[in-house]
Each structure stands twice: as C-alpha cells, then as structure tokens.
Structure 1
Amino acid sequence: MLIHKQDFKVKGLSYTIRSAVHEDANRLSELRVEIDGETENMDRESGEAFIDPSGFEDIIKSDSKHSKSLFLVVEVEGRIVGFSRCVGNDLKRTRHKVEFGVCVLKNYWGYGMGRNLLKETINWADSNEIKKINLSVLESNKNAIELYKSVGFEVEGLLKNDKLLSDGRYYNTLLMARIAV
C-alpha cells in the first residue's frame, strides 16, 4: 500500500517519510547492510540474509500492491537514511494483523524518525482495518521499548535466550503489540 509523503522538521533537521519506490532499491540494499553493522539490535549481522537491489524491487512492488503491507523510507536531503516495513497477509484468521520492523542509521537517532515512521504506520493501520501490529525487540533495547510503549504497544511475551550477541551472551527478545480499540 502507498501513503502520501509527510515532511518533518525536528531539532533543525528536515526529513520526509514516504512510500518506497522502485528507484530506492539500490540504496535500500546498501542501507540494510550498513544499519545491520551499526548495532546489535537488529536480527542480522552486516551482510547476513543479504537482499540485493532486485530483491528490494520485488519487495517494493509487492508491498505497494498489497493492502496489508506498507514499506516506508525516511529521506534527508534526497538520501534514504532509514525505513520501516509492515507485512500482512490475506488469510482469514490473521489478516487483521501485521508484523512491523524499523531501522534508522545511528547518526540520525534522536530526530524522531523511528517515532514518526511508527506513527505513520499506526495511522495507515487504523485506516485499513488492521487491528494488531506485532513487533519483536531485544529486551536490552530500552529506548525502542519506551518508544513502542509511548504509542500504545504492550509486552505480550518473552523469548528467553533468543539472540546470541558478539559478547558471547544470550539475550531475551520481547514480543510487543499494539491492538486497536
């Protein structure tokens, strides 16, 4: 599905949130690898589960047409610095919910990009009969957890020893969801 672009100015930085388009595929392929290498909050290490530009073209095309999926990007001065994605399906038992994921380059943390991507996603979900947005987050990612709680997400479960990080320790993952009332 597609949304109308939205412009934001936070702490002196102007940026745009818009639907991903075909021409974004090369940058998204590069950006995903870059972001995965900046933090251990993601599911992958840099280069793992690599998606090449043609793979992103396919994802963008599919998400643009599917009423239960949404792929958004954040642009600063014409450069994509983050993105979010919601994926749903048409199965009768689960078409009321989507899975959400978000990532933003570390240099752009603190400008409300994650929050605004999330708000745009919630607005889209509320307008499209999506009753539940699911996500997973490392229990140690306190900033993300607080963000999700601030827009109505609640913890639904805990996956113990779910991720093995570079320090050789296992970390828990929280399952969170926002259920529309």
Structure 2
Amino acid sequence: MKVNEKEFYVRNLSYIIRSANENDAKTLSEIRVQIDGETENMDREKGEAYIDELGFKQLIKEDDETAHNLFLVCEINGRIVGFSRCEGNLLKRMSHKVEFGVCVLKDFWGYGIGTNFLKETITWADTNEIKKITLSVLETNEKAIMLYKNYGFQEEGVLKKDKLLSDGNYYNTVIMGRFNE
C-alpha cells in the first residue's frame, strides 16, 4: 500500500518519509548490506540473506499491491538513509496483524527517523483496520525497547539465547506487540 510523503525537520536535518518505489530498489539493496554491517541489532550479518535489486523491485511491487503491507523509505537530499517495512499475512486467522521492521544508517541515528517510521506505520495501521503490530528486538537495544513501549507496545515474550553475537555470547530476543482495539 502507498502513503502520502511527509517531511520532517529534526535537529537541523530535513528529511522525507515516503512509500518505496521500484526506482529505490538498487539503493535499498546496497544500504541494507551496509546497515547489517553497522550494528548487531539486525538479524543478519553484513551480506547475509542478500536481496538484489530485482528482489527489492519484487518486494516493492508486492507491497504496493497488498493492502496489509507497507514499505517506507527515508530520503535526505535525494539519498535513501533507511527504511521500514510492515508485512501482513494473507491467512484469514492472522490477517488482522502485521510485522514491523526498521533500519537506519548509523550516521543518521538520533534524528528521529526510526521514531517517525514507527509513528507513520502506527497511523497507517490504525486507519487501515490493522489491529496488531508485532516486532522483535534484541534485548540489548534498550533505546528501541523504550521507544516501542512509549508508543503502546508491550512485551509479549522472550526468545531465550536467540542470537549469537560477535562477543561469543547468546542474547535474548524480545517479542513485542501493540493491539489497537
């Protein structure tokens, strides 16, 4: 599904959040690999589960045609610096919910981009009869957990020793959800 673009101005930085389009596919493929290499908060290490330009074009096309999918990008001066995606489920028993994921280039952390992706997603979900947004977050990502809680998400469970990080230790994944009645 498509949404109207919106401009934001945070700490002297102006950016736009808009729906992804097929022309973004090559850049999305490149920045996804870069972001995966910048933080261990993502599920993947740099280069894992690679999606090429054609793969992103297909995702964007499917998301445009599916009422319960949303693919947003953040653009600064024509450059994509992050994206978020909600993926719904076609199964009737789970058609009321979507799963949210977000990633932003490290150089652009602290400008509210992740927060604004989340706010736009919540607005979209609430106006499109989506009752539940789910997500998973690494237990060490305390800023993200607090952000999600501030926007009505609750911890629903913990996947114990779910991720093996570069320090050789296992970490838990927190499952969170926001239900809109």
Q: Same fold by TM-score, threshold 0.5 exceeded? A: yes
Q: Partner letter of residue 18 of structure 2?
A: R
**1:37 is paired with a residue of what secondary structure?**
helix
Equivalent residue runs for 1:116-127 within 5 Å:
116-127=116-127
Q: What is the CA distance between 1:43 and its match in structure 2?
A: 0.1
Structure 2: segments with no counterpart, 5+ residues: none
2:115 is aligned with 1:84: no
Query: Root-mean-square deviation (CA), in Å?
Result: 0.5
Tell me how far 1:136 sits from its aligned partner: 0.1
SS state at 2:60 partner:
helix
Q: How many residue pairs are counted as aligned between the two chains?
A: 181
- Measure, in 1, the Cα distance between the counterparts of 2:90 and 2:29: 27
Equivalent in the alignment of 1:72: 72
Aligned to 1:137: 137
Give distance in 2, aligned partners of 1:10 and 1:125.
Answer: 24
Partner of 2:20: 20
How far does the alpha carbon of each residue in 1:50-76 deviate from its partner, in whole angstroms, 9 at most, with x for none? 000000000000001100000000001
- TM-score, normalised with respect to structure 1: 0.99
Give the Cα–Cα distance (whole angstroms) in 1 for the partners of residues 64 and 148 of structure 2: 25
Counterpart residue type for residue 72 of structure 1: L
What letter is aligned with 1:25? A
Q: 1:88-167 maps to which residues of 2 (within 5 A)?
A: 88-167=88-167
Q: CA deviation at 1:36?
A: 0.1
Distance in 2 between residues matched to 1:100 and 1:156, nearest whole Å = 15
Per-residue deviation, residues 69-100 of structure 1 (Å, max 9, x unmatched) = 00000001100000000000222100000000
Matches of 1:143 and 1:121, distance apart in 2? 18
Runs of at least 5 residues in structure 1 that lack an aligned partner in the other structure? none
Distance 2:21 2:45 in 1: 25
Relative to the length of structure 2, the TM-score reads 0.99
Distance (whole Å) between structure 2 residues aligned to residue 173 and residue 141 of structure 1: 10
SS state of the match for residue 93, structure 1? helix
In structure 1, the residue corresponding to 2:145 is in which secondary structure? helix
Supply the distance in 2 between the matched residues of 1:20 and 1:88 (Cα, whole angstroms): 17
Q: 1: distance between equivalents of 2:152 and 2:118?
A: 11
Number of the residue aligned with 1:59: 59
Which residue of structure 1 lines up, in the alignment, with residue 31 of structure 2? 31
